[in-house]
Amino acid sequence: MDYQQTLQEKVALCLSLQGAKETFPFDSKTHALTIGAKIFALIHMYHGDLYVSVKCQPERIDLLRDEYMSIKPGYHLNKKHWITLVINEEYDVEAETEFALIKNSYQLIFDKLPKKAQNTVRFSAND
């Protein structure tokens, strides 16, 4: 598996969402995907695996972790609100589910933005 290509595909998937931006606030290798300057996804390589961390409703986290072995508690994040998809040779999350989790995280962050920031996102064009 070409993890660098997969990383770029995941970043592109996140950037396809309205108003999403890519930043590097932590280091040059951790891709932080933001909406209204708030992070909705973190993507990076760690020990040969690709990690995609997204926000999730607390009541869904245990269900997802029970169903998928590739879904772990949020890596270096609040484990009550974040999950990490560990992408490696044993990755068991379907593409549709993965995209739904990313969109869900985006929506959770968007809904918490002030109305002015939401309107800025709504009327922005992705670069």
Asked if residue 36 lies in contact with residue 121, where contact means CB atoms within 8 angstroms, the answer is yes
Count the Cβ atoms, other than its own, within 10 Å of residue 23: 12
Asked if residue 97 lies in contact with residue 85, where contact means CB atoms within 8 angstroms, the answer is no
Answer left, alpha or beta for residue 28, where phi above 0 means left and psi between -120 and 50 means alpha.
alpha
Q: Which is it for strands 38-46 and 21-23: parallel, antiparallel or unpaired?
A: unpaired
Domains of the chain: 3-116 (3.90.1150.30)
Contacts of residue 80, Cβ cutoff 8 Å, sequence gap at least 6? 58, 61
Q: In the chain, which residues have pLDDT < 50?
A: 127
Distances (CA, A) of 36 to 9, 49, 66, 100: 22, 29, 32, 20
Return the pLDDT at 126. Answer: 56
**What is the per-residue pLDDT across 18-30, written as a single tens digit (0 to 9) for each?**
999 999 999 999 9
pLDDT averaged over every residue in the chain: 93
Give the distance, in angstroms, between the CA of residue 103 and the centroid of all CA atoms in the same chain: 8
Return the pLDDT at 123. Answer: 86
